[in-house]
Every structure is written in C-alpha cells, then in structure tokens.
Amino acid sequence: MIKHIVMWNLLGETPAEKADAAQRLKHAFETVRGRIPGLLHLEVGVDTSRVDYACDVVLYSEFTDQQALDGYASHPEHLRVRAELEGLRIARHQVDYTTESNQGIQP
C-alpha cells in the first residue's frame, strides 16, 4: 500500500478568505472518491490549530500500489481538481511512503 500525504498553505488576506479557500479545496478533492482506480481511502482535513507554522489543509490518501498512485497523478478527475484549484495555494508539501496493508491492525 502507498500512503500519499499532501499539505498546503493557501492564499487569503483574511481568515475568512483562507477558510473559503480551504473549503473549496476540501470539497474539490472529496469529489474524486470512488472515481479513481486503486484509490482506497481519501480524507481532507482543515487545520484547526491556527499556529503560525501549520499548513492550512492536509490530504491523506491510500492507494493499492505505486502504479495506482502514478495513475492518480494523470487521471482526468485529479487533473480536473488541480485545474479547478489553480492559483489557490502558496505552498505545497508532499510525502509518499509504502506500508504493509495490514499494518497496525491487531488480530
């Protein structure tokens, strides 16, 4: 299994503008659920800590394997979301890592 985590800082002069941008991003990514082969899990979280070093939004997703993650990157639904959100971010951070699919599950 591949875990794909992306964090963004978003544009916005006011807290309300940033909150609007965060909700737009959250909604846009949630629309890809069930539409991309090999995407097992997707969740989007909006930061509530409000500390100055925190990112505004995080995407946590799980894919069956590297091939599925590679397919996601060029899938029309993902490309649609990227185009829809163009210009919304000021920074992006990403981590992808491999795990065993049953890691952390107790018998």
Over residues 13-30, the pLDDT tens digits come to 999 999 999 999 999 999
Over residues 30-78, the pLDDT tens digits come to 999 999 999 999 999 999 998 999 999 999 999 999 999 999 999 999 9
Instruction: For each of the domains in the chain, give its residue range(s) and CATH number, in order of start.
Output: 2-98 (3.30.70.100)
CB of 68 closer than 8 Å to CB of 2: yes
CB of 46 closer than 8 Å to CB of 22: yes
